[in-house]
């Protein structure tokens, strides 16, 4: 807490911080009532803030506990887990089928290129290559 004597202004960037003014005569007469009052106000503010924070934390904890203990939530979570397992099996099946089809397509493309006789012209090779690429791309 910043305390300023008389009407002087705080220096070194302390002006932005809230401060309180106290007379020099009060301090020289050892009259610290104003400083004591200011400290009591500040202490009350700090206590109020801590009390509000504690109450807010307790409210949040109660809400979280209520949500975690909810039977509906547990049922929804178990349902989502079972759906996840089912969808994961379907995805792995589709992945396996897709991989097998691409491998089969590559093997068929290899055999179709391998069975070309050597007396064909270069346009035929381009045709077979484009056909094989199209088939693999479609698969």
User: How much is the mean pLDDT over the chain?
Assistant: 80
Q: Where are the domains of the chain?
A: 1-69, 81-139
Average pLDDT over residues 10-14: 64
Supply the pLDDT for residue 21.
67
With tokens 């700090």, the residue in question is: 46
Q: What is the pLDDT of residues 73-121, one digit of tens each?
A: 889 999 999 999 999 999 999 999 989 988 888 888 778 777 766 667 7
Q: What is the pLDDT of residues 17-59, one digit of tens each?
A: 666 666 666 666 666 777 777 778 888 988 999 999 999 999 9
Residues 6+ apart with CB under 8 A from 80: none
Question: Which string of b and e fits 69-106 if b means at least 16 CB within 10 Å?
Answer: eeeeeeeeeeeeeeeeeeeeeeeeeeeeeeeeeeeebe
């Amino acid at each position: 807490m910043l305390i300023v004597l008389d009407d002087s202004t705080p220096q070194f960037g302390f002006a932005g911080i809230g401060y309180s003014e106290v007379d020099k005569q009060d301090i020289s007469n050892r009259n610290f009532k104003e400083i004591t009052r200011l400290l009591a106000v500040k202490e009350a503010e700090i206590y109020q803030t801590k009390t509000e924070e504690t109450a807010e934390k307790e409210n949040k904890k109660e809400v979280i506990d209520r949500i975690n203990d909810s039977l509906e939530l547990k049922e929804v979570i178990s349902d989502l887990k079972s759906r996840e397992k089912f969808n994961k099996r379907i995805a792995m099946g589709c992945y396996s089928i897709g991989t097998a089809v691409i491998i089969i397509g590559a093997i068929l493309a290899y055999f179709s290129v391998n069975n070309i006789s050597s007396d064909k012209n270069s346009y035929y090779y381009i045709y077979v290559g484009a056909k094989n690429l199209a088939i693999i791309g479609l698969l």
